[in-house]
Every structure is written in structure tokens, then in C-alpha cells.
Amino acid sequence: MELKKLQQMIEENAVKAVDLKYCGLDGKWYHITFPARNIAEVMESGIPFDGSSIPGMTSVESGDMVLMPDASTAQLDAFNATPTLRMICSICDAETRIGVNKDPRSVALRAHKYLLSTGIADMSTWIPELEFHLFDTVQYYSDAFSSGYNLTSSECKDALPEDNEDLDALALQGVKGYHMDTPFDQFYEIRQKIVELIEEQDIKVRYHHHEVGLSAQEEIETELLAFPKICDDVMVMKDIIRRTALQYGLTATFMPKPVYGHAGNGMHFHIMLHKNGKNLFYKKGGYADLSDEAIWFIGGVLTHGRALVAFTNPSTNSYKRLLPGFEAPVKLFYGLANRSAAIRIPKYVNTPETKRFEFRTGDGTCNPYFAMSAILMAGLDGIKRQIDPGKYNFGPFDDNVFAWSEEKKATLLSIPANLEEAMQALKVDHQFLLEGDVFNKELIESHINLKLKENDAVSARPHPYEMMLYYNL
């Protein structure tokens, strides 16, 4: 979008403020706001800021950075009372105005550039499945002498808010909530409002529904969206979900496992590659009608799967979801319509235009720029090296591996069991990420250090359940 169009947008909508969003290593949005009258100056020169104040971004002695807004991301903010224009930024070097090595958005832009340079494909499209919970209230606390949390849900008899006596008997218990209909799906209208706001941002939604978790677990799935814009889109969608929930007096979370023993929140990624308008992953007659390129891409993702989860599942809570019995994959293999597989080929995508596969391991604590870029780099490595997943016992397997004998299951490669193990896997296996200077060693080291600190902070603290187990021993 040219400057004149931005200025026209500002004038027609009486915009008073322009809000610049950028993503840190932790996957959170940060923002800075300036008067709309300064739009021309900011579009030319950007806005300087102290990068050393953003966790893991840079050191104090080299903290000066510049936010350069991307005019194509300009949208009116649907939530602020003050008419506000929102744009997404890349974090750039103060002198060169080039995206810095640790800027997540610049990583995705470099990954796309690398994809084009290989000649393998000229486009990559993705579908992210966003799973989340809408709770009525949440309280949590942790200090030296106390620790705990409390979640409430009007949909679940076991977790009703104090002011809800469930006199209309809409709250349920002991059942699964998948595709649960109204009136038991109590937040349908809120979910629909979220979808409407998402579509106003030029993000096409495929459908939305109640998920398995009874305590208001939701899912919104998009149509196929182009990389790297899809990374921006995930950030936008998460923001809309959170802010809409707050408008209705609710709280939204993408935590992989907020409720013990109940279904957790994943973020599955459907992936396609295209060249000259053709889907590269379709070939009639192969396994599930997958092309050689598709099989090799899968081989790359599974070969690097243990390292990938360091970016796709970067929280201690991630590994409380990745347990057998909850349709969450714990073994690295692929199969047709197999929900116990790390990579599932959906049966319903059976045409040359729709053939794709789904990486099921990730979750919403990931930084979408890092996660999708890493998956893409692993898949491209698989194509370049023609990695056959069958040679490494990665499948295809079409049966439920959870029903296998323990001896047979032990022959499959497992994903890391915890965050520390995932970071160790990334330390060992990251060369594929360095191709094309997409990622770099400093970024990988910063990510590992940041996440190991989180892991140590959690593991060093007494757990409330430990009190029940051990206090009186």
C-alpha cells in the first residue's frame, strides 16, 4: 500500500493514531503508537527503539534498532475507541534498515526468499488450526509460600463460576464437547463474532466449532493462506480472539494443557507447495496420491522432528499435552487419516488441487514466524536430500500406534519428553535451519537459553501436587 493510500485511509476514517506491532522472540506482540499526522516520516525512516529491553533480542551495548512498518499490513483496529490504524513491523538494523537476524518476522521473510532460491517451488500455502479455551474467570499466583490457580467455565459442571448455579442445566460433565450444539455450546455467538472480525482483516476462515474439551474449548480453522503472510495472520487472529473474549467478560488461552485430564490445545499446520500454479504434493498412484516431493518433504520434517518441537512446542506446558490418549502425537511417523501420527494425510483432500498433509505436533505457545519457517526449512531439506521416511521407520503406518505392543512402539522415534530435551535436540540438529541464512547460530542460542531459563524456573519450584504426595512423608 502506497503512502498516498495510507493517508487516504487515515483521512477517510478520521484516524488519530497509528499502532505499530512487532513480535519478540517469545512470540508476543509488542507495540508503539504515534500520531497519524507523522505517517509519512515513519514510513520513510521507521521508529527507533531499544532492542535490549525485549527479552533475548540484543545486548545493551548494541540496543539501537528501528521498526519498519509494512504498509501492506495496514488495517483499522476494531477494538480501540480512538480511531486507530494498525501495521505490523519488521525489526531492522538502525543503520541499514535490513531485518536483524533475531527478528522473527524477518526470519519468515528470509525463509520465503530461500524457498524461491531453491527453485523447488514458488509458493507455499498453509492452514493453521487455532485451538483455545474460553474461561469465565482465571486466577493464578506463585510466590515463595504459595502457588496455585483456579479456572471456571459455565459449560462444565465441575468448574462453574461462583455466581452460576446452572439453573437452566446447560452445563455438562463426563462427556466430550466435539461439535457440541447450542445451547450447550454457550459461546457460539462469541466465536462467530471472532470469525467476522478475522474475516474483516482479509483472513479467510474455513469453519469454526466447539472442540473436544468440555470447558469451552474452541477451534477456528482458516482456508489455505500464503506464507509468510500467514505468520502475520496467526498473530492477528490470536489478538482478535483474546480481545473479543475480554469484551464479553471472558478470558482466552492457547495454553496446550490448561485442564488436567482434558483435551489440550494444539496448533496443527496443513502444508502445500506450489510451482507455476500447480500443487507439487499430488501424484496419482503413489501412497495416498502423494508425489515424491511430498514424501521427501515429510521425510525432512520427521528426520528433524525432535529439533523442530523446540520451535513448535516451546513451553514446559507443551509436553503435558503431548501424551498418549488425547489425539496428540508422541511418535514421529506419518499415515493416512491417522490422528496418532505426527503427520496426517487427510482422506478428504484427494484432488490435485487440494492434496496436502497436516503437521499435528505444534501448539499455540509457538512463535508462528519461527515455527512455520522451521517446518518449511526441514521439509525443503528433505526434498533437497530426497529423504525417504520409510528407510528410517517413519511410516507410513495407518493403524493406531497407541494400541501397539510396548516393544513395537519402542521401535518408533519419540518426540522429546520435555522442554529441556527439545532444546538439547535443537543444539544437536540445527544445520538445516542455517541454510540461506534464514536462522543463525546466535538466534538459535538465544532461543535455547531463553527456554532453558523457563524450564529451570518451573522445575525449581515446588508443585502444588507435590504437597499432596510428600508433605506428610
pLDDT in tens, 132-152: 999 999 999 999 999 999 999
Cell representation of residue 157: 459442571
Q: Which residue has the cell 499455540?
A: 364
- Per-residue confidence band for 63, with pLDDT thresholds at 50, 70 and 90: low
Residue 323 has what pLDDT? 86
Active site residue 339: yes
Active site residue 155: no
> Which one is catalytic: 356, 360, 430, 447?
360
> Which one is catalytic: 86, 110, 191, 268?
268
- Out of 107-111, 163-167, 213-217, pick the least confident: 163-167
Three-class DSSP category at 118:
helix
pLDDT tens-digit readout, 355-391: 999 999 999 999 999 999 999 999 999 999 999 999 9
Active site residue 189: no
CA distance 120 to 297: 11
Active site residue 219: yes
Domains of the chain: 3-100 (3.10.20.70), 123-470 (3.30.590.10)
Over the chain, what is the mean pLDDT? Answer: 94
pLDDT tens-digit readout, 182-201: 999 999 999 999 999 999 99
Residue 109 CB: number of other CB atoms within 10 A?
19
CA distance 314 to 319: 9
CA distance 220 to 433: 29
Q: Is the pLDDT of residue 50 over 90?
A: no
> Which one is catalytic: 339, 385, 461, 463?
339
Active site residue 293: no
Three-class DSSP category at 141:
strand
Cell representation of residue 370: 519461527
- Per-residue confidence band for 342, with pLDDT thresholds at 50, 70 and 90: very high
pLDDT tens-digit readout, 401-459: 888 888 998 999 999 999 999 999 999 999 999 999 999 999 999 999 999 999 999 99
pLDDT tens-digit readout, 281-303: 999 998 999 999 999 999 999 99
CA distance 142 to 147: 4
Residue 239 has what pLDDT? 98
Residue 39 has what pLDDT? 96
CA distance 54 to 57: 6
pLDDT tens-digit readout, 164-182: 999 999 999 999 999 999 9
Q: By C-alpha distance, which of 369, 350, 293 is closest to 89? A: 369
Residue 326 has what pLDDT? 66
> Which one is catalytic: 129, 185, 232, 420?
129
For residues 314-318, give the mean pLDDT.
98
Active site residue 306: no
CA distance 409 to 390: 16
Q: Is the pLDDT of residue 109 over 70?
A: yes
Active site residue 456: no
For residues 52-71, give the mean pLDDT.
76
Residue 431 has what pLDDT? 98
Active site residue 199: no
pTM (two decimals): 0.95
Cell representation of residue 258: 490448561
Residue 60 has what pLDDT? 44
CA distance 55 to 118: 33
CB 373 within 8 A of CB 439: yes
Sort 175 into a burial class: Cβ within 10 Å, 0-12 / 13-18 / 19+.
Answer: exposed
> Which one is catalytic: 77, 103, 155, 358?
358
> Which one is catalytic: 26, 136, 185, 211?
211
Active site residue 360: yes
> Which one is catalytic: 11, 44, 50, 327?
50
> Which one is catalytic: 155, 185, 219, 293?
219
Cell representation of residue 99: 531485518
